[in-house]
Structure 1
Amino acid sequence: MTKRSIMLRALSIFMGLWIITQLAFSSAQLLAFKHGLNHAILEIRTRVALDAAHLDLGDPNTQQSLNEASVEAYLSTLNQKVAEEYGIALLEVLSVQYEPLSKGSLSGDLDLPLFGVSATPLEIRLHSGHADLVMAINVPSIFSHWQFNYFGFLFALGISAFYVKRNEAKEVRRQQRQSMLPSALLHIDLNTKQLVNVGTQQRFDMQNKPLCFFVALVQYCIDNPNAELLHHKDVPESLIKGANKAFARLIELGHTKRKRPDFNANLEKTLSEIRAVLDLVFAQNEKHKAIFYPPRAQGEGSRSKQHSYALHHVEAEKVEIIGL
């Protein structure tokens, strides 16, 4: 995973967690605000209903005028108590007055306009026998009390930072493990006359002639990556020299006292013996085997002679020859 993809995923985690926690916080805030505001308005309504008899509000039936100074003083005192007791900004009683009777008098819960952009005047009518007591209240919007969820922000930031650190550490460990892995896939050990799968450490014996030819073939193809080794042509001189050198080394190591074989003879049999051992060495890994596997001739007769047995994908770092 690249650093860019890690950062993009961390950003997605942060945004997702922050939005979820903010929505949960705001929803709880809305419910609490609505409950508190509804309770405060009901308390105000009850207080005003009890105090109305002692206020000089006038009488619409007798056309008695309203004592504005007295009412304003009462509203100022009432709003101060509301602010101290409930602590809800912008909640205030704007006016109180009597009006002629109305069929619909408000009772129970209020339908509060919580989602306006600013405070909204709300009219409440209280039935009082001979007239309606009408009270205008300024109701604040939830947005005037909206709060940023700092805990949710820090929580989302912490989780996303932990995700980045954890994945960066995993990537470092992966790279360390990768660097510790041997680059070679195959060891050709002349000391034991074996081919060794570096990954599994499995070893398989190989006869002298195919072993020496294979050593020379690998070296030749590394030095000549675009070479074509055709069945109907003689084996290149440099490849023969490499095979003879490997055979001389086997003699020095005490593996044989026989005379040097003709590496130009019975080529297909030699290649078949090499393939047979490679089938065992890389039995569970066709991809690695293909690097060292001399391609088989396809077709029959003269067409098969045009086939190259060169190893076009072999590289120096993929193979190590031990004891040469």
Structure 2
Amino acid sequence: MTTTTHDVVIVGGGPAGLSAAVTLGRSLRSVVVIDAGEPRNAPAEGAHNLLGREGIAPRELLAAGRREAASYGAQVRPGRAVAVRREDDGFVVDVEPVQGSSGEPGPTTVRARRILLAAGLVDELPDVPGVRELWGRDVIHCPYCHGYEVRGRRIGVLGTGPNAVHQVLLLRQLSDSVTLFLHTAPVPDDAAREKLAALGVPVVEGRVARLDVGDGPDGGSLRGVVLGDGTTFPVDAVAVAPRFVARGELFEQLGGELEDHPMGGRFVPVDARGATTLPGVWAAGNTSDLSAMVGASAAAGVMAGAQLNAELVTEDVERAVEAEHARRRA
């Protein structure tokens, strides 16, 4: 089944996608949001640094966003966008159903004049047993998103790259007990060693074999970091540095190329408005900014929505002028 053509199809129902939908809806644009229902921050108890909604549960925030988008006429449909192609002067997106979605099944094909990619990114976590199990709870990555929640506790930093020392320094602001486990990170140079020593941060060499996870009603809690030789270091939280990879399959299907980030990972490149180099293709949130927190992603969605509307207004006016010229010639 195929829908009528919308002004914009938004792939991704997170803060960026829903904010764009609200902005476009308020300009009376026909908008459909395809939402696979897989928010990146679902394991976290709260979303932070979000003015007026500090600490709100991620799913509660998204539910409110869906209601707000719907109030302005945007359609939010459960589904997974699996393929996209250009057709005439717009796009056709193929959508597959997702498990557990409620309500009437949506169409399998959506047409739109423009497409906004806002499906976020995938966190590629270190391959250490226990990390994925505790991800978003006792295992964190962003000092600003979840550092306050582990303040004053024993924090271990699992080193996997050159940014490990920087992560330690940020977390040391929040706790007097921070330990750097080098794991696969490069050995700190003399300048970095001097900083760590001045702050009383121990550096533990050797590979980490696993995280010691105790039993618990919510899947267990962190008890310590275990090295390959069996030595265990008691900690209450572990910070990791995932590799961030944007969900850019649709962008690549349309002929775009993801760019490598200097700190690792890949993203969809955009300009300050959110437009890509592909005509009619836009991106916002973690799809184009790997470091964007919830508030920044929402702001990028608003910007992209406003600029998309401006582009469509220009196109609509040009079509109206052409139609008027044709009428006069007739």
TM-score, normalized by length of structure 1? 0.24
Instruction: State the structure with more CA Rg.
Output: 1
Query: Relative contact order, CA 8 A, sep 6+: which one is greater?
Result: 2
Richer in helix (by share): 1
TM-score, normalized by length of structure 2? 0.23
